[in-house]
Amino acid sequence: MKYIPRKNLGPLLLIFILPLSQQSLADSGWYVGGSLGKTYVDENIDGVQFTADSMSFRLSGGYEFNDYFGVEASYLDLGTLKDTVDVGGQMIPVATTARGYSLAATGRLPISQRFAAKGRIGYLFSDGETTIDGITEDDSSEKDPFVGVGLTFSPVETVRLSLDVDYIDGDQIQPLVATVGFSIHF
């Protein structure tokens, strides 16, 4: 048997330990991620049509109990939705913003080794502000249920790319949020 000098053991040990640590990281269940997209609103509120879209983003983290079920917490910024609405023949600028935190149960259905369908259902706890003709009318806090569906692609075991659509059932408006994102799984 050939003697291996002690100073050469480090790289040799890394060759064996690195794949084990990568596997254990991927199996822990924890993940963090982010997404960018658009918020869409097309509502008739008390006879006034409000149609707008804006950029939105989400930062999220969660835990997957197994390949099928998990929980997720997120920060969601719906952006600023702006429209000029017709009120009795007069055109009035309206802008509304909303941002907040969500908590959701998640579900995942593997389609193949790299693709999976996913869904989430939960509540969005948000703060918003509405400005009508330059005057701030409302500074509201709401708790709204939401549901979302999506598709994920895993180019490698610890990374998922996703396309998502969420429907938020708000009191005055029910926005759709479409996003493209990623998550890193530990």
Check residues 92 and 137 and name the one with the higher pLDDT: 92
Which pTM does this prediction carry?
0.81
Mean pLDDT of 32-61: 94
- 68: alpha, beta or left? (left if phi > 0; alpha if psi -120 to 50): alpha
162-184: b or e for each residue (b if 16 or more CB lie within 10 Å)? bbbebebebeebebbbbbebebe
Cβ within 8 Å of residue 144, ≥6 positions away: 123, 124, 126, 168, 169, 170, 171
Collapsing DSSP to helix, strand or coil, 141 comes out as strand
Residue-wise pLDDT tens digits, 70-80: 999 999 999 99
Q: Nearest 5°: phi and psi at 77?
A: -115, 115
**Domains (ranges, CATH) in the chain?**
29-185 (2.40.160.20)
- Which tokens belong to 168? 């938020």
Asked whether 160 and 180 are in contact (CB, 8 A), the reply is: no
> Is the pLDDT reported for residue 2 higher than 80?
no
